[in-house]
């Protein structure tokens, strides 16, 4: 008993302390604050304030951007991973692709916003090349980097690599015997993917979509650096609330943070459940 709960636990003490101080306690403080009055009493008014038109519209906009970036990230990332694992690409490409994906999936914030402004801004490199070399003015055609699709496109820079990293092990788990059996029975490549591979991968795909949704829903640094207050998504409104620039109601800010916790928590719960189910198929 002493060996099991003695020195072996010493190595995880820093992790447990970090999780307690910077995750669990702040989360509990947010949840409690969402149901408190300035005087310390219990109230539901803060949560009811989330249903005001302005805050509801920010939640809807955040959900739409998160869903769009998650869906496109899943589709494009899956295509890249499938081509890398089962598409017959040279094996030496897998190392650079996974290495880049590991770096790009964590590249966000001000550097990512600056990179996209320098590339696709009104005087960005790609914008100028398209205009001067091909006569294509993407801004005259309606594109705007500081918009719904502009922010969604920016989020794809880290959503696609994250999808590649997560779905690649699931693709590796597809057994060769399944494809061989399908081919013996006369199935084409499309039939194999439609009737065998995709049904097996569906829990992984849906779970990864939920994870990508949560990943973009809570992002603020990239959105704030790129759009400022142009897009009133929830993280930006919450940031303004914390600074006291707009709503000047700390407990309503707690309620907004609580709403974000509920949304991201539900998405992560879906991911965990579906990932557990997918692992059963891969055994």
Residue-wise pLDDT for 89-134, tens only, equals 888 888 999 999 999 988 888 899 999 999 998 889 999 999 999 9
Assigned domain for 33 exists: no
Which has the higher per-residue pLDDT, 164 or 1? 164
Assigned domain for 42 exists: no
Assigned domain for 249 exists: yes
Burial 141-164 (b: 16+ CB within 10 A, else e): eeeebeeeebbbbbbbbbbbbbbb
Assigned domain for 277 exists: yes
Assigned domain for 31 exists: no
Given a contact cutoff of 8 angstroms between Cβ atoms, the answer to whether 202 and 174 are in contact is: no
For 112, the domain range is 52-282
Tens of pLDDT, residue by residue over 35-76, are 988 787 888 888 898 898 988 999 999 999 999 999 999 999
Residue 1: pLDDT band (50, 70, 90) is: very low
Assigned domain for 157 exists: yes
Assigned domain for 206 exists: yes
The reported pTM is 0.87
Per-residue model confidence (pLDDT) at position 150: 92
From CA 228, how far away is CA 279, in angstroms rounded? 41
Residue 186: pLDDT band (50, 70, 90) is: confident
Whole-Å CA distances, 139 to 32, 68, 110, 146, 192 = 46, 21, 23, 11, 43
What is the gyration radius of the CA atoms in the chain, in angstroms? Answer: 23
Q: Is the pLDDT of residue 86 over 50?
A: yes
Assigned domain for 136 exists: yes
Which has the higher per-residue pLDDT, 275 or 132? 132
What's the structural domain count of the chain? 1
CB atoms within 10 A of CB 176: 7
Per-residue model confidence (pLDDT) at position 197: 86
The domain that contains 150 carries what CATH number? 1.10.3720.10
Given a contact cutoff of 8 angstroms between Cβ atoms, the answer to whether 212 and 70 are in contact is: yes
């Amino acid at each position: 008993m002493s060996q099991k709960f003695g020195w072996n636990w010493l190595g995880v003490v820093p992790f447990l302390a970090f999780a307690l101080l910077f995750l669990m306690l702040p989360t509990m403080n947010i949840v409690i604050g969402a149901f408190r009055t300035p005087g310390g009493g219990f109230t539901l008014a803060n949560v009811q304030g989330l249903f005001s038109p302005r805050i509801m519209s920010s939640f809807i906009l955040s959900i739409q951007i998160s869903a769009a970036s998650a869906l496109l990230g899943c589709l494009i990332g899956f295509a890249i991973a499938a081509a890398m694992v089962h598409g017959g690409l040279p094996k030496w490409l897998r190392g650079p692709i996974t290495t880049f994906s590991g770096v790009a999936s964590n590249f966000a914030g001000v550097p990512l916003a600056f990179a996209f402004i320098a590339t696709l801004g009104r005087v960005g490199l790609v914008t100028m090349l398209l205009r001067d070399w091909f006569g294509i003015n993407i801004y005259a055609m309606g594109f705007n980097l500081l918009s719904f699709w502009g922010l969604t496109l920016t989020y794809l820079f880290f959503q696609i690599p994250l999808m590649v990293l997560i779905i690649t092990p699931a693709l590796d788990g597809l057994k060769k015997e399944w494809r061989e059996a399908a081919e013996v029975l006369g199935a084409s490549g499309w039939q194999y993917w439609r009737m065998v591979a995709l049904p097996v991968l569906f829990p992984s795909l849906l779970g990864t979509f939920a994870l990508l949704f949560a990943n973009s829903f809570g992002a603020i640094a990239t959105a704030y650096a790129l759009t400022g207050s142009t897009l009133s998504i929830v993280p930006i409104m919450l940031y303004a609330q914390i600074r006291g620039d707009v709503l000047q109601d700390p407990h309503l800010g707690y309620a907004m943070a609580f709403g974000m916790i509920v949304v991201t928590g539900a998405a992560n719960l879906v991911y965990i459940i579906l990932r557990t189910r997918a692992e059963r198929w891969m055994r």
